[in-house]
Amino acid sequence: IHANIIPFLKYIFQLQEFYAEEKCINMSFFSDNLSYELDFDPEKTAAVVGNLLNNAIKYTSEGGNVQMKVMARSDSLYLEVCDDGIGIPSEKMERIFDRFYQVDDKNTRKAGGAGIGLALTRELVNLMNGTISVKSIAGEETVFTVQLPVRHEFKKAEFNLHKQTLESETNDT
């Protein structure tokens, strides 16, 4: 579809806030623009973002922070999901995208799951001709970055992320 991807991403983000609330995790959504009109695959994009946010919430303990950042550079859209949770040990990093792989740690086991989320996520990103990368410090933070090619060229020199107000926050008050 051709649409503004920002409200779409916010909606996917808000669906995950429900799980975050149970764990008292702070969720924030940042974007360097209010509107990015572009062609994207809604099903694949929703699954990718949903999986990454689900992991970020799952592997972050109570009171932690999960952030989603959206930014555009030249001919790519970047979606970043950051958390300050348990992190991924560097020696396990290259295996996390493998099917059925879970970091062998008691926290991971406790969290459940099948270990297919990231394998599926990478497959979907590949189908969209994008790339996915991860940076993590064990015990501190994890950042997944998804790069998606877009046909339109974004000419943005300034890099300014603005916190977006989510509908649910405004409704709460």
Does residue 67 touch ligand ATP according to CB under 6 A? no
Q: Which of 114, 133, 157, 170 binds ligand ATP (CB under 6 A)?
A: 114
Phi and psi at residue 19, in whole multiples of 5°?
-75, -35
What is each CA distance from 128 to 41, 48, 140, 168, in whole angstroms?
8, 11, 30, 30
Residue 32: contacted member of ligand ATP, Mg ion, none (CB under 5 to 8 Å, by partner type)? none
Sites for Mg ion among residues 101-130 (CB under 5 A)? 117
Instruction: Give the pair of three-digit tokens for residue 96.
Output: 């996390």
Stretch that binds ligand ATP, among 32-40, 69-77, 96-104, 125-133 (CB under 6 A): 96-104
Q: Which of 38, 68, 72, 83 binds ligand ATP (CB under 6 A)?
A: 83
Q: Which of 86, 132, 146, 148 binds ligand ATP (CB under 6 A)?
A: 86
Q: Which of 5, 25, 72, 103 binds ligand ATP (CB under 6 A)?
A: 103
Residues with Cβ within 8 Å of residue 122, at least 6 apart in sequence: 97, 132
SS3 73: strand
Does residue 88 touch ligand ATP according to CB under 6 A? yes
What is each CA distance from 137 to 90, 95, 116, 143, in whole angstroms?
8, 16, 22, 9
Count of residues touching ligand ATP (by CB under 6 A) = 21
- Contacting residues toward Mg ion, per CB under 5 A: 55, 117
